[in-house]
Copies of this chain bind each other. A is one copy, B any other.
Amino acid sequence: MVMKNASSTIKHAIVDFAINIKNIGVADPRRITHSLKVALAITMVSMIYFLQLFYNNMGDAGIWAILTVVLVFEFGVGATLSKSLNRGFATLVAGVLGVAVDSFASIFGSTSRPVILGFFLFLIVALATFTRFVPNIKKRYDYGALIFILTFAMVSVSGYRVDKIIKFAHQRLTTILFAATTCVLISIFVCPVWAGEDLHNLIVNNLEKLASFLEGFGDEYYRISNGNKSCIAAYKSVLNSKGTEESLANFAWWEIGHGRFRFRHPWKKYIEIGVYTRQCASHVEALNGYLKAKDEAPSEFQNIIKEPCIKMSSELGKALNELGLSMKLMIYPSSSTLHIENCKNAVDELKTTLKVTMIAECDILEAIPVIAATSILVEIIKCVEAISEAIKELSKQAHFKNPTDITPDKAEEHNFLNCGSHLKVAGAGEDEESIIVSVLSDDKIPQELDLGKSKREIN
**A-side interface residues toward B, CB under 8 Å?**
20-21, 24-25, 31-32, 34-36, 38-40, 42-43, 46-47, 49-51, 53-54, 59-60, 62-63, 66-67, 70-71, 114, 117-118, 121-123, 125-127, 129-130, 133-134, 146, 149-150, 153-154, 156-159, 240, 242-243, 282-283, 285-286, 289, 351, 354-355, 357-360, 364-365, 367-369, 371-372, 374-376, 379
Contacts and interface: CB of A to CB of B under 8 A. Distances in A.
A357 B359 CA distance: 11
A47 to B, nearest CB: 5
Contacts of A282: 282, 285-286
Contact of A42 (B39, B121, B283, B364): B121
25 contacts: A24-B130, A38-B125, A39-B129, A40-B122, A42-B149, A43-B121, A43-B125, A46-B118, A46-B153, A47-B114, A50-B114, A53-B159, A62-B154, A62-B157, A67-B150, A70-B146, A70-B149, A240-B242, A289-B379, A351-B365, A358-B360, A359-B360, A371-B375, A372-B372, A372-B375
Contact of A150 (B66, B357, B358): B66
B70 A35 contact: no
Given A371-B372, A372-B375, 7 more contacts: A25-B130, A38-B149, A39-B122, A47-B157, A354-B364, A368-B371, A372-B376
A283 to B, nearest CB: 7
Nearest to A28: B133
Contacts of A286: 282-283, 286, 376, 379
Nearest to A243: B243
In the complex, the count of this chain's copies comes to 2
A250 to B, nearest CB: 14
A241 to B, nearest CB: 11
A121 to B, nearest CB: 5
Contact of A153 (B34, B66, B118): B66
Contacts of A159: 50, 53-54, 59
Please indicate which of the listed interface residues A157, A240, A354 has the most CB atoms of chain B within 10 Å of its own CB.
A157
A355 B351 contact: no
Contacts of A46: 118, 121, 153, 156-157
B70 A127 contact: no
Given A50-B157, A67-B150, A365 B355 contact: yes
Nearest to A25: B130
A134 B21 contact: yes
A263 to B, nearest CB: 27
Given A240-B242, A286-B286, A359-B364, A24 B126 contact: no
A157 B49 contact: yes
A434 to B, nearest CB: 35
Please indicate which of the listed interface residues A46, A121, A154 has the most CB atoms of chain B within 10 Å of its own CB.
A46
A243 B239 CA distance: 12
A325 B393 CA distance: 47
Contact of A31 (B53, B54, B117, B130): B130
A43 to B, nearest CB: 5
Contact of A129 (B35, B117, B156, B379): B35
A66 B159 CA distance: 14
A408 to B, nearest CB: 47
A445 B99 CA distance: 67
Cβ-closest 9 pairs across A and B: A372-B375, A39-B126, A35-B130, A35-B129, A39-B125, A360-B360, A53-B159, A46-B157, A50-B157
Nearest to A283: B286
Nearest to A279: B285
Contacts of A70: 146, 149-150, 153
Contact of A369 (B47, B123, B149, B375): B375
Contacts of A157: 46-47, 49-50, 62, 66
Nearest to A36: B126
